[in-house]
């Protein structure tokens, strides 16, 4: 149930408290235990050499869930750590791949903006870590993030619960965050179903590959991913984006078989990027027809009819559930992949 208006807090007030009180406290009292620094990888695809830890090419387990991505990552890490400790192994930490503002740390997190990175910055010291390269780093700033680059903040301390209530947590938690800027509102074709330009599609693929390489390079073989590149702010075609994720996990020579599991977590179970895309197309058609006909009533009727026809579009969650279903994974693995010339029957 959504919190009532009386229980809601102002995001800007939470941000002010985080900036004034929480971030300085973490830096002063816990900086040695949880270094508040980050590392920018400008070209992770060419910069990072991935050592294969597993000879198998078997795909990871894929899960599609609804909830808060960071809380899911922390929950999975806690559960896996319990199992690991029982057999004398170290704690498990699970990174969250976060859609990032490429120009400044956390984007407009100090105002009321509701992108996930902004919301997470209000709940944690992420903005400070993003803004602070490791002292040994050669760069004075991590920004702007290169188009294929990403930032690893290895020790982000979370002190509040999800957006809405921003409740103070009884205990603080830490997790790694990999911040990568998604492709923003690419040109689309085929009724908004596909990227218009191969270059934008491949750039998006490289962003996904780069984020995952950062994870593996730093020893993380499980990952939580939110609605990266989706929603009205980014409008990547969800079917094709899901297939890009799938292709990278299944077929990339350096990545395939190296992840134990992947969890895609959707904050909003009914979010439909397809609906946003189709609505934008309908608006443009409405404007075009209005100019050509010179009749506001007829074009308004056309726009209304077009909007109603989009009532049954799938949600992002439904698309990912289909693309990553066991049946679909098995089907894809049994097809030869022309890009890499690899047989897809896994070992």
Q: For residue range 188-203, what is the model confidence (pLDDT) as tens digits? A: 999 999 999 999 999 9
Do residue 309 and residue 321 come from a single domain?
no
Residue 146's alpha-carbon distances to 150, 207, 241, 284, 290, in angstroms, are 8, 10, 20, 32, 41
Q: Which of 173-182, 251-260, 331-340 has the lowest mean pLDDT?
A: 331-340
Residue with more model confidence, 296 or 279: 279
Percent of the chain at pLDDT above 70?
Answer: 88
Residue with more model confidence, 281 or 342: 281
Do residue 210 and residue 255 come from a single domain?
yes
Do residue 267 and residue 280 come from a single domain?
no
Mean pLDDT of the 328-346 span:
70
- Per-residue pLDDT of 137-148, as tens digits, reads 878 899 999 999
CATH number at residue 256: 3.40.220.10
When pLDDT is cut at 50, 70 and 90, the band that residue 136 belongs to is confident
In a domain, 340, yes or no: no
How high is the pLDDT of residue 114?
87
How high is the pLDDT of residue 127?
98
Do residue 266 and residue 297 come from a single domain?
no
Do residue 166 and residue 218 come from a single domain?
yes
How high is the pLDDT of residue 345?
42
In a domain, 5, yes or no: no
Do residue 259 and residue 286 come from a single domain?
no
Do residue 302 and residue 226 come from a single domain?
no
In whole angstroms, what is the distance from residue 1 CA to residue 255 CA?
39
Q: Are 179 and 100 in contact (CB under 8 A)?
A: yes
In a domain, 2, yes or no: no
Mean pLDDT of the 268-272 span:
98
The number of domains in the chain is: 2
How high is the pLDDT of residue 99?
98
Task: Compute the C-alpha angle 48/49/51, nearest 5°.
Answer: 135
Do residue 66 and residue 168 come from a single domain?
yes
Range of the domain at 305: 273-313
In whole angstroms, what is the distance from residue 116 CA to residue 75 CA?
18
Helix (H) or strand (E) holding 3: none
């Amino acid at each position: 149930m959504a919190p009532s208006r009386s229980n809601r807090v102002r995001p800007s007030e939470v941000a002010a408290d985080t900036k004034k009180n929480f971030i300085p406290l973490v830096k002063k009292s816990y900086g040695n235990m949880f270094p508040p620094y980050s590392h920018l990888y400008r070209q992770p695809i060419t910069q990072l050499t991935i050592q294969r830890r597993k000879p198998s090419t078997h795909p990871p387990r894929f899960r599609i869930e609804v909830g808060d991505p960071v809380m899911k990552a922390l929950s999975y890490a806690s559960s896996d750590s319990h199992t690991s400790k029982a057999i004398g192994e170290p704690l498990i930490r699970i990174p969250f791949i976060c859609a990032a503002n490429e120009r400044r740390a956390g984007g407009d997190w100090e105002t009321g903006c509701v992108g996930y990175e902004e919301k997470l910055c209000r709940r944690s010291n992420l903005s400070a870590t993003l803004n602070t390269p490791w002292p040994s780093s050669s760069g004075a700033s991590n920004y702007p993030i290169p188009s294929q680059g990403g930032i690893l903040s290895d020790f982000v301390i979370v002190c509040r619960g999800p957006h809405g209530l921003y409740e103070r947590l009884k205990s603080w938690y830490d997790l790694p965050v990999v911040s990568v800027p998604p492709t923003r509102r690419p040109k689309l074709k085929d009724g908004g179903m596909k990227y218009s330009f191969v270059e934008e599609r491949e750039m998006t693929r490289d962003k996904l590959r780069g984020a995952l390489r950062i994870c593996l390079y730093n020893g993380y073989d499980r990952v939580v991913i939110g609605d990266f590149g989706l929603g009205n702010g980014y409008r990547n075609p969800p079917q094709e984006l899901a297939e890009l994720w799938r292709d990278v996990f299944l077929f990339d020579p350096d990545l395939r078989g190296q992840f134990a599991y992947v969890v895609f977590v959707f904050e909003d179970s009914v979010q439909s990027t397809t609906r946003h895309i189709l609505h934008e197309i309908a608006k443009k058609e409405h404007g075009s027809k209005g100019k050509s006909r010179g009749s506001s009533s007829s074009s308004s009727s056309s726009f209304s009819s077009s909007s109603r026809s989009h009532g049954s579009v799938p949600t992002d969650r439904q698309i990912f559930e289909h693309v990553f279903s066991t049946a679909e994974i098995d089907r894809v693995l049994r097809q030869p992949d022309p890009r890499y010339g690899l047989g897809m029957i896994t070992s």
